[in-house]
Structure 1
Amino acid sequence: MKKTFLIIGIVLGLNPLFGQEEDIDLNADNSWLKAGITAGVPVGDADDVSSFALGLDLRGQYLFNPNLGVGIASGYSNYFGEDDYDDFGIVPVAGFIRYYFTPDGLFFGTDLGYGFVTGVDDTDGGLYVNPQIGYHNRDWNFYAYYQNTFAENDVDIQAVGVGVTYNIRFQ
């Protein structure tokens, strides 16, 4: 519950940074959907019960200027159980921010929100953090990530991996 209040506080605290007096014009040059896949290797607590993570990455992004993008992120990461353990997963509901150094090239960013845990008893989820660094162009994003869900009962579900998304432009 404390982590939920922390997330709400962060979102409300950052809200004035994104306030706009002008109407936002969504167009193909400043906003789009991103859809793609991720593949990773569990680390930490998750490494004991899973050997591979495969996921779907969905995002909606708005560019304030050519270098700064913000948006919402969701998707699903499935952690494949090993030995006698069942598969489990993470469904993030997060905001994200990205900094693009140039129109084509290096970017870095992070997601921050709540990760709902599926398939695990005694935990519903927790604080979700997903920093990324990668390469982008007008249509594609290729990146490396570290994903961590600080779940209840001192369970941290972590993975490191790579992802790719395709930009679906608004018309």
Structure 2
Amino acid sequence: MKKLILSITLLIAGLTVHAQQVRELDEINEDNSWLKLGVNLGAPVGDVGNYSSFALGLDVAAQFMRTDNYGLGIATGYTKYFEKSSAENYDGLNDGFGAIPVGIMFRYYPQPEGFFIGTDVGYTFLTSVNSSDGGAYIRPQLGYHNYDWNIYGYYNQVFRADPSIDVQSIGVAVTYNIRFK
């Protein structure tokens, strides 16, 4: 997993090297900054896949295009992991559980419309878990974007100090861009 994180970090850093004009925060306008609102649908994998049948969530992010190709911002939301009816008894899980990520988002857009690559990194708070420790998370993404919409596939993992509940999922998400004025 460390190699995956290092590879993604190096890829994003390398892609930003050939960025052109760098914008400052006081240059925020409807052409380079927006609020992203959307939904995600995931399939739990790893240990939590024995407990949860699917995950459904809301994504919220604010993005600033630092250059024409490189965006950064903050990301949050809420994802509910629904319990299987025949779920194994996992200590600390009560009738499903929730995940609230708070992180930084990085995106690379090679063209104004088309494919993009990105990741969110930060901390996820878990709800309805007896040992409510959350953990650091990473959510690499690959998708398609245009002026108004983004659709992408993702892998999400929460790294917890207590590895008894390994929170991982793969899924798809759709977000709509609301322009800042």
TM-score surpassing 0.5?
yes
SS in 1 for 2:26: coil
Query: Aligned residue for 1:169?
Result: 179
Equivalent-residue separation in structure 2 for 1:21 and 1:72 (angstroms) = 17
Q: CA deviation at 1:120?
A: 1.1
Are residues 1:87 and 2:126 paired?
Answer: no
Q: CA deviation at 1:23?
A: 5.3
Amino acid at match of 2:179: R
Equivalent-residue separation in structure 1 for 2:169 and 2:24 (angstroms) = 40
Are residues 1:151 and 2:160 paired?
Answer: yes
Q: Unaligned stretches of 5+ in structure 1?
A: 1-13, 15-19
Query: Aligned residue for 1:3?
Result: none
List, as ranges, runs of 4+ consecutive aligned residues in structure 1 with deviation greater than 4 Å: 20-23
Are residues 1:142 and 2:171 paired?
Answer: no
Query: Aligned residue for 1:54?
Result: 56
After superposition, what is the alpha-carbon deviation per residue over 1:5-63, rounded to whole angstroms, capped at 9, x for unaligned? xxxxxxxxx9xxxxx89552110001000000000100001101101000000000000
Query: Aligned residue for 2:68?
Result: 66
Q: 1:50 to 1:62 in 2, by over 3 A?
A: same
Q: 1:36 to 1:21 in 2, by over 3 A?
A: closer
Amino acid at match of 1:45: D
Question: Contact 1:123 / 1:153 at 8 angstroms: preserved in 2?
Answer: no
Amino-acid identity (%): 52
Tell me the TM-score normalised to structure 1 length.
0.85
SS in 1 for 2:66: strand
Question: Contact 1:123 / 1:151 at 8 angstroms: preserved in 2?
Answer: no
Amino acid at match of 2:80: N
Equivalent-residue separation in structure 1 for 2:25 and 2:139 (angstroms) = 30
